[in-house]
C-alpha cells in the first residue's frame, strides 16, 4: 500500500527526532556519535550510475564522484556535522545524487574534525585542497564551492579567505542549510526548536565548544563568516527548509550578501527540516532542491 506524503513525512520526522535529535541532549562522546551517524547513513541509497574513486589531495582523504568521463566542471563539497561529526561515509550517497543530477565531477573532502582538531585546522585543510587543485592546473572558474550545514560555513569562510588573498575565485557557492553565525543569535533557533526533526541547539552548542578555541570570539569572521565582508564574492545559492532552526541564518546571510552586491539565489522549501536535501530518495522537496542546485550549477557553467 502506497503511503501518503504527509504520513511518510511524519514517520520520518519521528524517526529522526528519536535517533538523532534526542540523543544529542546526552553529551555522548564524539566517537560514539560519529559511529552512530555513519550507521544511520547506510539507509540512504546510492546512485549506482556514478563512479566513485578514492584520492589523496593535500594530505586529506577525498572521494571523487564522476557521472561521466568528460565532466569538466567540479563541485568541491564540504560536509556538515556541527564540526565534530560527519565523514566520507555519511555523505557518500548524497554526493552520488549531486553528481548524477548535475552531471559534474564532485570532490568530497574528509577534513579534520573537532575537538581533536579545533579551528583553524578544518579551514586550513580545505584551503590547502583548493590550492592543490589550482596547482594541478584546474581553473578556478571550473570549481564550485559547496557545503551543507557547518560545511557551508567552511565553504563561505574559504571563499572569503580566497578573496582576501586575491587568489583566483571559484565560479560560485552552493550553501545548503548554512550554519554561519556561531553566536546563535538567529531567532529561528527558538521558534523552530520543536519543528526541526534533525538538528538541535544542543548539537550546535556542543560543536561550537569543540570547534572554537577559548582565545577566539564566536563572532570572529573566520568561524562565523556571516560577520565577514562579503563584497566581491561569487554568485551563491542558498537553500533552507522552513522548519529549520537555522532558517534565519540562511535568510540573514541572503540579505547581507545582497547588500554587499553579491548575486544571490535563495530557495525556501516548505515543511522541510535541516539537511533535507539528503532525503531525495523519498521526498519531492529534496528532489526539487537537487534540481534547483543542478540548474544553478549549469548556469554558472554558461557564464
The alpha carbon of residue 201 and the mean position of all alpha carbons in its chain are separated, in whole angstroms, by 17
Closest CA to 242 of 197, 290, 200: 197
Q: Give the residue numbers annotated as catalytic, written as ranges.
A: 149, 244
Cell numbers at residue 295, please?
540548474
Can you list the alpha helix ranges (DSSP code H) found in 25-120?
30-41, 92-102
Q: Residue 164: how many CA atoms within 13 Å on its side-chain side? A: 13
How far apart are the C-alpha atoms of 158 and 163, rounded to whole Å? 9
How far apart are the C-alpha atoms of 255 and 190, rounded to whole Å? 20
The alpha carbon of residue 269 and the mean position of all alpha carbons in its chain are separated, in whole angstroms, by 16
Cell numbers at residue 223, please?
568561524
Q: Which residues of 90-112 are buried (b: 16+ CB within 10 A; e: fewer)?
A: bbbbbbbbbbbbbbbbbbbbbbe
Closest CA to 157 of 135, 127, 134: 127
Q: Are 64 and 95 in contact (CB under 8 A)?
A: no
3-state SS class at 226 = helix
Cell numbers at residue 182, please?
556561531
Cell numbers at residue 117, please?
582538531
How far apart are the C-alpha atoms of 181 and 253, rounded to whole Å? 9
Amino acid at each position: 500500500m502506497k503511503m501518503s506524503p504527509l504520513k511518510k513525512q511524519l514517520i520520518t520526522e519521528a524517526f529522526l527526532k528519536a535517533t538523532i535529535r534526542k540523543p544529542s541532549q546526552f553529551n555522548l562522546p564524539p566517537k560514539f556519535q560519529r559511529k552512530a551517524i555513519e550507521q544511520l547513513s547506510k539507509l540512504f541509497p546510492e546512485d549506482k550510475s556514478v563512479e566513485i574513486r578514492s584520492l589523496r589531495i593535500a594530505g586529506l582523504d577525498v572521494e571523487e564522484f564522476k557521472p561521466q568521463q568528460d565532466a569538466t566542471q567540479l563541485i568541491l563539497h564540504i560536509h556538515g556535522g556541527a564540526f565534530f561529526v560527519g565523514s566520507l561515509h555519511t555523505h557518500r550517497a548524497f554526493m552520488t545524487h549531486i553528481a548524477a543530477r548535475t552531471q559534474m565531477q564532485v570532490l568530497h573532502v574528509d577534513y579534520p574534525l573537532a575537538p581533536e582538531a579545533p579551528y583553524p585546522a578544518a579551514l586550513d585543510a580545505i584551503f590547502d585542497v583548493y590550492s592543490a587543485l589550482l596547482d594541478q592546473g584546474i581553473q578556478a572558474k571550473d570549481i564550485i564551492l559547496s557545503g551543507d550545514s557547518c560545511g557551508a560555513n567552511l565553504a563561505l569562510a574559504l571563499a572569503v579567505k580566497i578573496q582576501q588573498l586575491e587568489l583566483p575565485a571559484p565560479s560560485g557557492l552552493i550553501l545548503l542549510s548554512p550554519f554561519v553565525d556561531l553566536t546563535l543569535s538567529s531567532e529561528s533557533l527558538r521558534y523552530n526548536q520543536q519543528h526541526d526533526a534533525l538538528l538541535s541547539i544542543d548539537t550546535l552548542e556542543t560543536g561550537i565548544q569543540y570547534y572554537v578555541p577559548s582565545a577566539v570570539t564566536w563572532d570572529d569572521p573566520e568561524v562565523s563568516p556571516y560577520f565577514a565582508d562579503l563584497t566581491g564574492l561569487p554568485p551563491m545559492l542558498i537553500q533552507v527548509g522552513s522548519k529549520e532552526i537555522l532558517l534565519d541564518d540562511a535568510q540573514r546571510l541572503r540579505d547581507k550578501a545582497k547588500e554587499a552586491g553579491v548575486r544571490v539565489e535563495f530557495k525556501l522549501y516548505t515543511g522541510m527540516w535541516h539537511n533535507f536535501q539528503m532525503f531525495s530518495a523519498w521526498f519531492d522537496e529534496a528532489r526539487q532542491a537537487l534540481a534547483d542546485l543542478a540548474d544553478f550549477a549549469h548556469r554558472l557553467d554558461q557564464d
